[in-house]
Amino acid sequence: MIRRVFITALIASIAVISVPRAAMAAHTFYGIVVHVSVNNIKVQDPRTKQALSFLILPKFKNVFSADGKTTYQMAKVRPGRYVAILYDQHLLGQRHANTIYLMTGANQRIGKQ
């Protein structure tokens, strides 16, 4: 009986480890910031008018420049800014932002030529 439970647990753990990397990839959402607070950001896609909210962890510091080398403070993310948000839903099933890129209106990162 114990051996059967052990084998089942081993097979389940191997199945979880062997999940393809693409299935674990983050999603990207482009849009204009509508609302920013300490733990939440709401972004609306101007083409489809779809708005999504994302959780932000306290002391969130993943706001990047065009080349991804320079970080900005969260104070640079204000309503009206065009952003790209890389997010996933692994934490309690809620969308949460992993990285925020400041973009131009042409879907290009600020400073990219």
**Tens-place pLDDT, residues 62-103:** 888 656 777 888 888 899 999 889 998 876 788 988 889 888
Domain of 43, CATH number, reads: 2.40.50.140
Number of domains in the chain: 1
Assessment of whether the complete model's pTM goes beyond 0.75:
no
CA distance 13 to 18: 9
CA distance 84 to 102: 7
Q: Is residue 113 part of a domain?
A: no
Q: Burial letters for 12-21: b for 16+ Cβ neighbours within 10 Å, e otherwise? A: eeeeeeeeee
User: What does DSSP assign to residue 78?
Assistant: -
Q: Is residue 14 part of a domain?
A: no
Structural domain that includes position 79: 26-102
